[in-house]
Structure 1
Amino acid sequence: MNPYSDLFYEGTANEYSKAIQLASGSVVRFLEKNRKPFSGITPAQLKTAFAEVDLNAPLPDYESLLSEVERLYSDHAITFHLPQYIAHLNCPVVIPAIAAEVLISAINSSLDTWDQSAGGTLIEQRLIEWTCSEIGFDSHSDGVFTSGGTQSNLMGLLLARDHYAKERLRYNIKQKGLPAESSRFRIFVAATGHFSIQKNAALLGLGEQSVVSIPVEGYRMNVALLEEAIQQELEEGNIPIAVVGTAGTTDFGNVDPLEEIGQLAARYKLWFHVDAAYGCGLLLTSKYRHLLKGIELANSVTADYHKSFFQPVSSSAFLVKNKRSLDLLTHHADYLNPKEHDEDGLPNQVNKSIQTTRRFDALKLWFTLRLMGKQKLGSYMETIIDTTAKVADMISQDDELELVSYSDISALVFRYFPAGLDEADVTEVNLYIKKEMLKDGAALLAGTRINGAFYLKFTLLNPLTTTDDVNKLLSIIKQHGATYMRQHRKTLYDRREIA
């Protein structure tokens, strides 16, 4: 008996093939069995099943293992591929990218240095070049794959901070730590920007107080108020270092006026970072590419392929206009990426990253582009955006619903608000709807708050989702709303009488 029968090497090719075939069968069962986005199981119910598992007692075979995993995970996993899932920024994934995952996991390249990845390094670099070109950057640009938008936004703010210190203060943060002036550094972002901007400012030692929230107009950054805020911070003795434009806000799917922001950033010599984690999919389209006008003015850009390029998690990138700015991240270690490697022309991606070991996630996008092409991916995005516009019309024309805003991409915020329901009660009704839909699992949507009031949210990222699918979801929403109002009729009436 082979004592290494579970180790992946040339002597276990048959075992590997069997395991992959069985795992593939489990995936097919997942597709065939799950007919709604969620089973509705509660954490308490599932924890009971987990409590019965003894991790010190191995299972006898793959069949037993897959049966257990299906019971604990697959049967209850959120099914992003179903049209009834329109909650968060989770897209269905394309099959070429799934096929690439098989190679990525088995060959297990680490994309930090050339001597751990070789051709993988060049594939990643080629895809970075392609993305930079689509953005509108020239040959001086560069970038690296990341784990997601939060990491990419962190890198953007890190470069903004260190670039300002180096160029304006003649100070090296990498060597000396934060300068005394750092407590006065200021970063500007729209009120609708991603929470990671505040989180990353704190991680960078600048504190959340360094982030200045700019009011929005039509749920897009108000550029006039941005300039007022910059001038005010200067008058107060603070130091503006960066402005973040959002191409696709999480709640509303809207794109800030990037060109105006970029011009203003240049005027005040601020680092301009564009968070296009969601909106990067617009790069694929000919019909809606104009919404990103001005992104080419950015110093750095976040792109999440696992949001709008239909890639499995994780698949993201951080792109910079000037590759020399990435030198701020480089640290040479004799055992990993000594300076001699640079002299020998060896491309080490770790020089550009805040990670060391990294999966070869770029292969998924390579498989996708080489087999499907940009145009086909773009048609998916155009279908999604077109469907969202039709859904927005449906909601705005429904007397029982209230639409907050139309979307540039595919996120819609609205609420159940029929005649006779007071503003004081509408949040409770919509919270009930959200809770009941999660409990039932037949359709999943998200929620958010605006000025303290709770709203429902659709995020359409599936080209298979039609207006008929959404119309059924809206019927479910209204049914739950009507149920709540029947059950709480007396309470709602009493509140109105007191008011």
Structure 2
Amino acid sequence: MTPLTQARPLLSPFPPSLLAGSRDGLAEVLATLAEAIDTASTAHRPAGPLPAGTPAEVLAAATEALGAAELPAEGLGAKAALQRLATVLVEHGIDLSHPRAAAHLQPPPLAVAVAADALASAGNASLDTYDSGPSAIAVERWLIGVLTRLAGLGERADGVLTPGGSLSNLMGLLLARDAASFRRGINAREQGVAALPGPVVFCSELAHFSTHRACAALGLGEAAVFPVPVDERRRMRPDALAAALDALGPDRTPVAVVATAGTTDFGSIDPLPEIAEIASGHGIWMHVDAAYGFGALFSERLAGRLAGLELADSVTLDLHKLGWQPAATSVLLVSDTTAFTSLDREVAYLNPVDDAEAGYDGLLGRSLQTTRRPDAVKAAATLLTYGRTGLGRMVDTCHELARHAERRILAEPELELVAPAELTTVVFRYRGNARPAVLGELNGALRRRLLESGTALIGRTEVKAAGPGSRTRVCLKFTLLNPTATADDIDGLVDTVLDAGRTCERLIEEGAA
């Protein structure tokens, strides 16, 4: 038998280029990917932002192109695999860079951000411990410093990246719940929320539904949400908030006020200074959901609309909206780093006390996640590339496109402007010469016709008309986040909507005849 000391070293059957950490391997596979995308785009990309066809037809075609849903005994190799997937995603997917893609808060990502995201993925660092990714930790801390200063939150401010705005709102309300429990002398970690009597979370009646989901997940219950009425500009009414807080009995616990800086449908921004004053006067947490609106801070023209943001206890922001990042790049900022105390954990295999005291610590205590990818890398690359001025020009361009769409809608007798452009969204509906009774059906059919044809991608929502007892109306929405689009592109989009509206109106009237 060969002595152990003379045993031959194990020779790997795999070349170094197998791994992304190899320069040659990464360069080769990225070049292959670029070639696959170029081939698919040239040969297969639809003319519009979506492939034509019904959902069943498009999904069936994409599934067929993928091949049988079974693991092959032998792999295809990188070139064939990437070519197949590129063809599926390009031919049967969405093209957010198309100027008529205007449905959701889902921007076309910047090329530098996508490249940086690949760089981050190649390293595969994690943020929970120092020895899982020291440089990635440094990048996130740098990014948080930039964002807290941009928000004006002060020297004690801190933050963390999360997998989306809904999760940032969840964490913000988690910290608010724990702060409310502390004021009541309750250890929320040990005693649970059952010990918190009658919790109440106040938010605008137009707040994102993630507030309700967060309350359900945190054990407060969706019934804890108190929707505060809005004014004619669709902003939370401070007088209504103050009255609701004053009316609370001793058996109720106000947990937080959630203000919105950029509602999903309208881009409306609640009066933050007045809300902050009320929240402070009652000694309760103020969370600002600025997932959409935070990007306005890049713009000198629009930044003033977020006055009062610096008074918040916590802030949600999504750089995968007005920041043009690949999803998800969300951040929760807090005004005081001690807010994260309730998330602290000591885990023997991750952050033992003696290692932490010696500086070998990570960011485990700032997140609900353990393994956490370095999403800050793509955002840092973007901020370093464009700076505030460059990003501000992108924001201003999209705002101007929305203002142009607003003016064009006002000029068309067949269209009705429902809500003007506060940030980059415009809400409207097609009226034509249709009977009022069929307008809801007509606008729903119009959007579906555009989706099936693949010629344009626009949003849909429901808006409550002014006045007591009024019903909600089905409306259409442009969400304009493409800084390379032009006024001519917007005119073409409006023309497409008008053509589809006229066709749908005729079909509905013929069907009723």
Compared with structure 1, are the counterparts of its residues 148 and 30 closer, same or farther at alpha carbon in structure 2 (3 Å cutoff)? farther
2:483 aligned to 463, 467, 478, which one? 463
State the shift of 1:59 in Å: 3.6
State the shift of 1:193 in Å: 0.9
Q: Which runs of 5+ in 2 are unaligned?
A: 1-10, 465-471
1:21 aligned to 16, 31, 41, which one? 31
The answer on whether the counterparts of 1:171 and 1:179 sit within 8 Å (CA) in structure 2 is: no
Aligned letter for 2:446?
I
For normalisation by structure 2, the TM-score amounts to: 0.91
* 1:179 aligned partner: 194
Is residue 114 from structure 1 mapped to residue 130 from structure 2 by the alignment? Answer: yes
* 2:291 aligned partner: 277
1:38 aligned to 50, 54, 59, which one? 50
State the shift of 1:176 in Å: 2.0
Residue aligned with 1:458, SS: strand
Residue aligned with 1:202, SS: helix
* Aligned pairs (5 A) from 1:293-308: 293-308=307-322
State the shift of 1:236 in Å: 7.7
* 2:204 aligned partner: 190
Residue aligned with 2:153, SS: coil
* Aligned pairs (5 A) from 1:22-101: 22-29=32-39, 32=42, 34=45, 35-41=47-53, 42-50=58-66, 52-101=68-117
TM superposition outliers: structure 1 runs of 4+ over 6 Å: none
State the shift of 1:442 in Å: 1.5
* 1:337 aligned partner: 351
Distance 1:31 1:341 in 2: 51
* Aligned pairs (5 A) from 1:148-159: 148-159=164-175
Compared with structure 1, are the counterparts of its residues 175 and 339 closer, same or farther at alpha carbon in structure 2 (3 Å cutoff)? farther
Is residue 353 from structure 1 mapped to residue 367 from structure 2 by the alignment? Answer: yes
For normalisation by structure 1, the TM-score amounts to: 0.93
Residue aligned with 1:156, SS: helix
* Aligned pairs (5 A) from 1:395-406: 395-406=409-420
Is residue 8 from structure 1 mapped to residue 19 from structure 2 by the alignment? Answer: yes
Distance 2:94 2:511 in 1: 35
State the shift of 1:161 in Å: 0.5
Distance 1:408 1:330 in 2: 40
Counting aligned pairs with the same residue, the percent is 35
Residue aligned with 1:348, SS: coil
1:479 aligned to 495, 499, 507, which one? 499
Is residue 433 from structure 1 mapped to residue 446 from structure 2 by the alignment? Answer: yes
* 2:462 aligned partner: 449
State the shift of 1:221 in Å: 1.1
The answer on whether the counterparts of 1:425 and 1:492 sit within 8 Å (CA) in structure 2 is: no
Residue aligned with 2:196, SS: helix
Distance 2:76 2:13 in 1: 15
The answer on whether the counterparts of 2:66 and 2:85 sit within 8 Å (CA) in structure 1 is: no
The Cα offsets for residues 411-453 of structure 1, whole Å up to 9 and x where unpaired, read as 111110123x222100111111111111111110111112442
Is residue 257 from structure 1 mapped to residue 271 from structure 2 by the alignment? Answer: yes
State the shift of 1:50 in Å: 4.5
Compared with structure 1, are the counterparts of its residues 361 and 9 closer, same or farther at alpha carbon in structure 2 (3 Å cutoff)? closer
Distance 1:485 1:98 in 2: 42
Compared with structure 1, are the counterparts of its residues 128 and 347 closer, same or farther at alpha carbon in structure 2 (3 Å cutoff)? farther
Distance 1:121 1:288 in 2: 31
Compared with structure 1, are the counterparts of its residues 29 and 287 closer, same or farther at alpha carbon in structure 2 (3 Å cutoff)? farther
State the shift of 1:71 in Å: 3.4
**Mean Cα displacement is larger for which, 390-399 or 355-364?**
390-399
Residue aligned with 2:462, SS: strand
Q: Which runs of 5+ in 1 are unaligned?
A: 494-499
State the shift of 1:356 in Å: 0.9
Cα RMSD after superposing both structures: 1.9
**Mean Cα displacement is larger for which, 197-206 or 117-126?**
117-126
Compared with structure 1, are the counterparts of its residues 458 and 43 closer, same or farther at alpha carbon in structure 2 (3 Å cutoff)? same
The answer on whether the counterparts of 2:442 and 2:508 sit within 8 Å (CA) in structure 1 is: no
Distance 1:447 1:135 in 2: 31
The Cα offsets for residues 237-263 of structure 1, whole Å up to 9 and x where unpaired, read as 422110111111111111111111111
Compared with structure 1, are the counterparts of its residues 247 and 58 closer, same or farther at alpha carbon in structure 2 (3 Å cutoff)? farther
Is residue 382 from structure 1 mapped to residue 396 from structure 2 by the alignment? Answer: yes
State the shift of 1:321 in Å: 0.1
The Cα offsets for residues 122-144 of structure 1, whole Å up to 9 and x where unpaired, read as 11101101100110111111011
2:238 aligned to 218, 223, 237, which one? 223
Distance 1:113 1:328 in 2: 18
* 2:258 aligned partner: 244
* 1:497 aligned partner: none
State the shift of 1:492 in Å: 4.7
State the shift of 1:70 in Å: 2.8
**Mean Cα displacement is larger for which, 435-444 or 73-82?**
73-82
